[in-house]
Chains A and B, each alone.
Chain A
Amino acid sequence: MCDTCGCSTEGGAVLRKPGQSDYHVHVNEHEHAHGEHHSHEHGDHHHEGSGRKVVLEQDVLQKNNLLAERNRGYFEARKIFALNFLSSPGSGKTSLLEKIIPALQQCFPVAVIEGDQQTTNDADRIQALGVPVIQINTGSGCHLDALMVNRAMKELEMQNNSLLCIENVGNLVCPALFDLGEALKVVIISVTEGDDKPLKYPTMFHEADICILNKIDLLPYVEFDAAKCRENAMRVNHHLEWFELSAKTGEGLAALREWLEGKMAQH
């Protein structure tokens, strides 16, 4: 059974590097022993069938959250500014990174962690830019978690004072719940989707810090109301930093770049 989705028996995430087909590291998520039997000798005492209540009051995601905090501490110590990019598949996360990284690299080093169920296609595209990149293949998993990022960041050659872009698995639902240790969450929507997406998937927009509307070059050809979309996003989260751009034409990219440079300077 998969450790994430329950879809198959081969669920563990795997780290890969572009161009190194024999490089392959397994991320073991859950190490609990199934079917373990232990014998337990009892004395003469009996509890008359009634159990004992043990109070835990523990966050269900505690393990992930604690590990995410460790990642966050590592990033802080090395002054690495980590962004978690989230969206549905096909809204242009990788294209945006391809477009913006060459400009950002003029100012500071950039590294990328790519998350996908399969293939190193995205990591191959990023590697072509000449930045350190590692691919996490989640197998049947629907999101990245703090452990996968923890393993990946140890394999990635990151410089101090750099920007780390973590591209999550394309999915607007599950990744919202899993803290990776990032400084900020960036959610991307494109104009070929619906302008009510923030209302349909509120958890993600509620968790995000930045919202990017991509593919605005296609606005004349689609029924998408950018102002309405922004209003919907703000209804879910009035703290959202909002950007509209086209990763294809480069329109609107300067504003995001300047904002990121400002954040890096403060960081």
Chain B
Amino acid sequence: MHEMSIALSIVEAVEERARQEGAGWISEIELLVGKLAGIEPESLKFCFSAAAAGTLAARALLAIEEPEGVGECGECGMIFPVNFYYAECPACRSLRVKIISGEEFLIQSMTIEEEEE
């Protein structure tokens, strides 16, 4: 259940930046959470509402984009979609697969509103 401390990190990061920008409140936060990042988006959303209570992000909508996992075979170089860390190359059956996408975990952007409501 690490989603709670992660939700708090997100609130802390966006709130700090929003204050620098002189925002009244934050209406939307865009996150990039790769399917292999080890984060449950639903759990994160659930925790976020508790973590954001009483902050500038209290009413922010959490928009989560979830890039698919992509692996690259270390033997034959094939690039293919992966759902798990223990992927096998579909071409040569090698297990020497490097994850090249799907582990992203970023705060992309936020939308700030000037007016305090």
A residues near B8, Cβ cutoff 8 Å? 3, 30, 32
Q: Which residues of B contact A (CB under 8 A)?
A: 1-2, 4-6, 8-18, 21-22, 24, 27-28, 31, 38-39, 47, 50-51, 53-55, 84-86, 88, 95-96, 105-116
* Cβ of B24 to closest chain A Cβ, rounded Å: 6
Query: Is A55 an interface residue, CB under 8 A from the partner?
Result: yes
Residue pair B114, A61 in contact (C-beta under 8 Å): no
Query: Is A161 an interface residue, CB under 8 A from the partner?
Result: no
A residues near B9, Cβ cutoff 8 Å? 60-64
A residues near B27, Cβ cutoff 8 Å? 51
Main SS at interface, chain B: mixed
Residue pair B110, A203 in contact (C-beta under 8 Å): no
Residue pair B85, A237 in contact (C-beta under 8 Å): yes
Contact mask A199-217 → B, CB, 8 Å, 1/0? 1001101100000000000
Q: In the assembly, what is the distance between CA of A97 and CA of B24, in Å?
A: 52
| CB interface residues, A 48-79, toward B, < 8 Å | 49, 51-64
B residues near A232, Cβ cutoff 8 Å? 86
* Cβ of B70 to closest chain A Cβ, rounded Å: 15
B residues near A25, Cβ cutoff 8 Å? none
B residues near A34, Cβ cutoff 8 Å? 53-55
Residue pair A59, B38 in contact (C-beta under 8 Å): no
Q: In the assembly, what is the distance between CA of A59 and CA of B37, in Å?
A: 12
Residue pair A142, B1 in contact (C-beta under 8 Å): yes
Residue pair A203, B112 in contact (C-beta under 8 Å): no
Residue pair A58, B107 in contact (C-beta under 8 Å): yes
Q: In the assembly, what is the distance between CA of A61 and CA of B114, in Å?
A: 27
Q: Which of B53, B88, B105 contacts A60 (CB 8 A)?
A: B105
A residues near B105, Cβ cutoff 8 Å? 59-61
6 residue pairs, one from A and one from B, having the closest CB atoms: A174-B2, A235-B86, A51-B111, A202-B85, A35-B54, A6-B4
